[in-house]
Every structure is written in C-alpha cells, then in structure tokens.
C-alpha cells in the first residue's frame, strides 16, 4: 500500500474513532492541578515520536488526535458540546481536506 494513502487512512480513522468514542463516552480529560490534559496534547507528542522513529502509523495517529481537537481550540470552544458545534466541525473538515491535499508534503521525512 502506498505510504501517503496509508497515512491518510490511519489519520482519518483516528479522528473517526476519537469522535465516535467521545460522543458515546464523554469522559472528562485528566487534570493535574488546574491543568487539563486534552487528546490534542497526546497527539502532538505521538506525532513528534512518529517523526523521530520514522513511523507513519504513530505519526498518523498523533496528527489525527491533534487535528481532531484543533477546531475546538481555534473556534474558542470550552465544553464537550462545543467540540460538536457547527464551527468546530467545519474547521475539522477544512483541516482534513488540507491534510489530504498536502499529505505528500507532510510525509517528506519518510
């Protein structure tokens, strides 16, 4: 299977799994003191680990987790309900399209 196709399939599947899971099980993020850990933070770490290890799978999962919550951050959302707002979903869709268009450039290190 072509690397950029595999990357996009895993990236998209990660977003779908995260969205479906959190829709049915809207659990709170872990909190350390007053600091709340969100899945975009795990995604950023995984994406960097994937780049360091040269792993398309880890990089795809990490980028998917990061982009999944990016619309919420850009749109200024604060609640679980905001993550499924029209604005958040439009931003998410736009970033998924951008990742598809630039998938070869996102994999330049592979």
Q: Which two tokens stand for residue 80?
A: 């679980």
Closest CA to 48 of 38, 35, 63: 63
Which residues contact residue 22 at a Cβ distance below 8 angstroms, ignoring those fewer than 6 apart? 80, 83
Burial class (CB in 10 A: 0-12, 13-18, 19+), 33: exposed
Q: Who has greater pLDDT, 69 or 35? A: 69
Instruction: Report residue 75's pLDDT band, with 50, 70 and 90 as the boundaries.
Output: confident
pLDDT in tens, 1-47: 699 999 999 999 999 999 899 889 887 777 787 777 778 889 999 99
Phi, psi of 71 (to 5 degrees): -60, -40
pLDDT in tens, 84-105: 788 888 999 999 999 999 999 9
Domain ranges across the chain: 3-27+42-106
Q: Who has greater pLDDT, 67 or 69? A: 67
What is the reported pLDDT for 86? 86
């Amino acid at each position: 299977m072509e690397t950029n196709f595999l990357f996009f399939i895993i990236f998209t599947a990660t977003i779908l799994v995260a969205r479906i899971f959190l829709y049915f099980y809207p659990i709170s993020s872990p909190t350390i003191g007053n600091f709340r850990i969100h899945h975009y933070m795990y995604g950023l770490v995984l994406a960097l680990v994937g780049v360091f290890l040269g792993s398309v799978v880890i990089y795809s999962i990490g980028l998917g987790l990061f982009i999944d919550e990016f619309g919420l951050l850009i749109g200024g959302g604060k609640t679980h309900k905001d993550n499924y707002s029209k604005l958040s979903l439009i931003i998410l869709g736009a970033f998924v399209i951008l990742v598809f268009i630039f998938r070869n450039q996102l994999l330049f290190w592979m």
